[in-house]
Structure 1
Amino acid sequence: MNRKWTAAAAAVSGMVLTLSACGGGADGTSAGGDYPSEDMDWTIAFGPGGGNDIMARTMVDILQKNDLYPENIVVENKEGGSGATGWGYLFGQSGTGYGISTTSGSFITTPLQADTGWEPTDFTPVGLMAADYALLMTAGDGEWSTYDEWVEYAKSKGTVAVGGIGTVNVDYIVQQMVADANGYKIDYVPYNEEGQMQTSLLSGAIDAMISNPGSIMGQIEGGQMNALLFTGPERLDALADVPTAEEEGISDIPSMPRGLILPPDAPEEAQQWWIDTMKEVVTTPEWQDYLDENYLLKDEKWGEDFTAYLDDTQSSFEEQLTELGAL
């Protein structure tokens, strides 16, 4: 399923996907006072193929299959600026209940290092639904197929070129924490889109990259990529030989928060409708399949509990990034 999702996402790059029935009004308010009664504008703040894109399209697919949203859902990738473009677009829909977007680590870290004009807590929270951990990857035909071999090479070279999604993001934190633990330096190269980063790794433009298991498992199984290190709490059954960061003496590596938000000041009826509906979504077999097949851990926080989580996590990330010298 991972390979199919990645291929499907790549096929729709720059395209708009319209689902379900016909739409309603255009002023962001409920026609007839009943929510929902209009088309939903679903923004993905990164390009196709990555963890954010896969999650968003999984959610939309479940909503469609179970007839949970009565109008059209229009899904569009608006990548750029480590998520700032897409979430800035959603921020501009303030006061409406008909814009929505999924979150990632960049949703928390991008405002720390750029003048986005918004903070994570400005948006109307729906919920956190899962935690996504990461893999440190090298090219399948490279000289380093294990973590120990990678560390030996990186230390001998002194500075290595590594990639991740977003500039100052969870991917950067992971790369820097691994480098600091082993005494080498990194030249971090940020990407907006998973496919570009994979191309750079396979061409030798970068030495290693960070990716989520659900985005990269197909390439690992096909021999194109080597998984060296997993940041989750336990080894993956599918990659039993790949050590965890904790096993290698690297503690407190953050995960990628997978959640859902509405624009700032969205109507209360819209927020409550989405909370109630997503609580249905996460009980479906399809959602459990998504968690299992993409190696995510269930982590649910709804409404204001999600806002409190975002606030606390941003403070933690700011402290970590300051210690790492990125802020």
Structure 2
Amino acid sequence: MKRFLLLVLMLVVMGMIAACGSDETSQEGGGAAEGAGAEGEAEFEPSGPLDWTIAFGPGGGNDVMARSMIKIIEQYELYPESIVPENREGGSGAVGWGYLMGKAGSDSDISTTSGSFITTPLQSDPGWTYEDFTHVALMATDDMFLVVPGDSEFETLEDFIEHAKANRLNFGGIGVANVDRMIVATFAEEAGVENYEYIPYDDTGLQLADMLAGTLDAVVSNPGDVLGQLEAGELKALAFSGQERLPGQFEEIPTFIESGLDVNISMPRGVILPPDVPDEVREYWIDTMKQIAETPEWKEYIEKNHLSEYILYGDDFSNYLEETVSTFEEILTELGVIG
């Protein structure tokens, strides 16, 4: 009997020891997991000045966007260090974004994009493509109006299409491989307009002068570039290339899509970082862009510059860029602009 009780006692003690050991192991494992979680959630803390590359000269759309963002960041203290904007223009963005390309892994460099971020590497080899960079956010798109002389007979896009099918027309736009030309080509294909010529310009002023002189029948233009002429009645807009109507003073202008034409080609205005930037840095800037997008100052910038507020973050922005590049490449190849 004593031996039996002793055996039972020994089994109980051994069970208690095993339980304690298991509990300690569990606690150690939990601590390790918590430690790993804390390490995985480490946040980026800026430790030096931010170099903001502007791939175009002062006063242009890219420059205005970048400096507007910087002003908001400083006003709301969204970045604890100084921000230094640098205009690194040349080669339709090739120089500026080439500089950013050379800053792989840097947590103190940033840049803003425009249509040339896509079209430049499609036409030449600047040493980078959109895929090389770390994509933060799409903050807006630059969409276009199809405009005609203010005293023209056309009151609607349908009127213009009917006329264009029966007559040879001259369309004007900026550049050979720009959004302007792609919109004209896509519109013509969708509307069944075959007899036309696209005339590229380097200067908006000369283009509008030719329009008012009767050399051009229609022009594809950024709303801001024709604002004065639209307000004065010298020009009239028949359609807008955005997904939705432009709010504000131009909200009566219908989209091509409303007329049953699949014409939705835009210039992406976004934010990128150098290649191979740590995830926590990307997340820091995604969060910063979310805060910027909610400020009244940003909404004022969008309205003042007649942009479409179209916002995508992180991988969604990457997917948008991939789809846009594919569309641009297909259109420009069909036009014979790229091989």
Q: TM-score, normalised by structure 1?
A: 0.73
Q: Which has the higher helix share?
A: 2
* Aligned match of 1:64: 74
Aligned with residue 255 of structure 2, among 241, 244, 252: 244
Q: Is structure 2 residue 201 aligned with structure 1 residue 177?
A: no
Mapped partners of 2:119, 2:89: distance in 1 = 16
CA distance in 2, matches of 1:75, 1:203: 36
Q: CA RMSD in A?
A: 3.3
Note if 1:41 corresponds to 2:52.
yes
Q: Which residue of 2 aligns with 1:168?
A: 177
Distance 1:58 1:115, change over 3 A: same
Q: Which amino acid aligns with 2:132?
A: D
Correspondence list, 1:56-135, <5 A: 56-135=66-145
Identity %: 45
| 1:274 paired residue number | 285
8 Å contact from structure 2 (residues 48, 108) kept in 1: no
Helix, strand or coil at the partner of 1:239 = coil
Q: Distance in 2 between matches of 1:128 and 1:54?
A: 16
Deviation at 1:57, TM superposition (A): 2.7
Q: What code does the residue aligned with 1:245 have?
A: F
Q: Which has the larger radius of gyration?
A: 2
Deviates more, 1:300-309 or 1:274-283: 300-309
Maintained 8 Å contact 1:106/1:168: no
Q: State the shift of 1:90 in Å.
A: 2.4
Mean CA deviation greater in 79-88 or 204-213: 204-213
8 Å contact from structure 1 (residues 94, 264) kept in 2? yes
Q: How does 1:1-327 map to 2 (within 5 A)?
A: 34-45=45-56, 48-50=59-61, 52-138=62-148, 146=155, 147=157, 158=168, 160=170, 162-164=172-174, 166-180=175-189, 181=191, 182-189=193-200, 191=202, 196-202=203-209, 207=216, 208-223=218-233, 225-236=235-246, 238-239=249-250, 242-327=253-338
Q: Deviations over 1:127-151 (max 9, x none)?
A: 11223321123566x7577556766
Q: Which moved more, 1:169-178 or 1:278-287?
A: 169-178
Provide the rounded CA distance (Å) in 2 between the counterparts of 1:235 and 1:308.
24
Q: Is the 8 A contact 2:172 2:207 kept in 1?
A: no
Residues 103/81 of structure 1: CA separation in 2 closer, same or farther (3 Å cut): same
SS of 1:90's equivalent? helix
Look up the SS of the partner of 1:254 in the other structure.
Answer: coil
* Structure 2 residue matching 1:81: 3-state secondary structure: coil
Instruction: Name the CA shift for 1:268/1:249 in 2 (closer, same or farther; >3 Å).
Output: closer
* Contact kept in structure 2, 1:42 and 1:73, CA below 8 Å: no
CA contact (8 A) 2:245 2:255 kept: yes
| Number of equivalenced pairs | 288
Unpaired runs of 5+ residues, structure 2, are 1-43
Q: Which moved more, 1:70-79 or 1:275-284?
A: 70-79
1:123 positional shift: 0.7
Q: Which moved further from structure 2: 210-219 or 109-118?
A: 210-219
| 1:25 paired residue number | none
Please say which of residues 214-223 and 243-252 is displaced more in the overlay. 214-223
Q: Which amino acid aligns with 1:179?
A: A
For normalisation by structure 2, the TM-score amounts to 0.70
In structure 1, runs of 5+ residues without a counterpart are 1-32
